[in-house]
Structure 1
């Protein structure tokens, strides 16, 4: 959580493991786009995790088909044959998957001769789908282009790769209310802790099996939770009443199930 960016509810502390992953993918990118590198002939080893992230982050724009891998790269409408025809893909020997280019595969329909093993009805259906897609592919004299999907200029950057590792994370709805306001840093940090329910209230002490007071020390009415301390405690409600009266705003009582985040968003919808 701490290593997530502030937009995703974290503190933006850099995750060194993800950073290392992003930097290693730079070698993968250069091995496909810069053939003049002195280490191009070295047998670079990449983990399945690195290969998986690379292939979902890239796609190929086919030109002459000389560098695009027929079975591995995402060159058919942004998808690979492994995605479009997974059962057919399993019928291809591994050495062919890593070597067969689009130009070689289309020439004389050589890709069809790569199929080995038992072919059932499902494999035949995927074979016909692949045949239809490949038939409508035409090559040109332009070189193939590898596209990085996370940048506007289609070129790899470590920053975009690092951010891609958080793709589909849930966006924090109130991050601007915490960090984009005028307040001392310690106040912002307390607000962040309160949103995460990480303040050492009696409720949290009880969950950890630590000594705690059974009731709020301010009102002696309810158990001490972060929501009670900041919203429903009579002392907190009085403080809100005085503050909102000074701002000439109405001071409604918090809903029974309203969270601290919902309370802030009600008063600061922007």
Structure 2
């Protein structure tokens, strides 16, 4: 039997996927509140391939080698305002190195090391004008969201019960199996 909570979570992941991947649809303008666990799973399962940088969030989306700046430089990320984190796009941040102005507050030694590493990484990034950003689903081979791929990912590391086939392939008559 399938776990109803996991099925529900796999299906709830579809809404943030649709909001980010099909921007021309009417539901993208709706402000839908998502469960924080669903959003965390969505961020883990998606990565952006940056084109022009107009639909990828600079601080929170996974776009630098499949990682977000939040995970790449956590000390630097901690100094950025919450509102800025969820609104700053890659195109806005990279033009004129505007992302540096988002950092408010002092950085310790680890923060400075992260800042310098981030600056070196961002120097090599180039935007491609006219090419839209592509959202990819990590848990499927095609890169497109499927509820089945999310559901199967939940069971990836769980132990299996090999004798299940013997239970369901019983050769007794149907009236005896029930």
TM-score > 0.5, shorter chain as reference: yes
**Aligned position for 1:98:** 86
The counterpart of 2:58, out of the listed 45, 49, 70, is 70
Aligned equivalents of 2:106, 2:154: Cα separation in 1: 38
Aligned equivalents of 2:153, 2:78: Cα separation in 1: 28
* 1:184 equivalent in alignment to 2:173: no
Shift of 1:181: 9.3
* 1:109 equivalent in alignment to 2:106: no
**Aligned position for 2:175:** none
* 1:147 equivalent in alignment to 2:133: no
- SS of residue paired to 1:36: coil
The counterpart of 1:55, out of the listed 20, 43, 47, is 43
Calculate the TM-score normalised by the size of structure 2: 0.89
Q: Pick the structure with greater CA Rg.
A: 1
In the TM superposition, 1:10-49 aligns within 5 A as 13-49=1-37
* Residue ranges of structure 2 left out of the alignment (5+ in a row): 173-178
**Aligned position for 2:74:** 86
- SS of residue paired to 2:98: helix
Shift of 1:119: 1.6
The counterpart of 1:123, out of the listed 85, 95, 111, is 111
* Residue ranges of structure 1 left out of the alignment (5+ in a row): 1-12, 187-270
- Structure 1 consecutive aligned stretches of length 4 or more whose deviation exceeds 4 Å: 180-183
Residue correspondences, number: 171
Aligned equivalents of 2:142, 2:128: Cα separation in 1: 22
Aligned equivalents of 1:53, 1:126: Cα separation in 2: 25
- SS of residue paired to 2:47: strand
Q: 1 or 2 for the larger relative contact order (CA 8 Å, sep ≥6)?
A: 2
**Aligned position for 1:161:** 150
Calculate the TM-score normalised by the size of structure 1: 0.60
Residues 208-243 of structure 1: per-residue CA shift (max 9 Å, x gap): xxxxxxxxxxxxxxxxxxxxxxxxxxxxxxxxxxxx
CA RMSD of aligned residues (A): 1.9
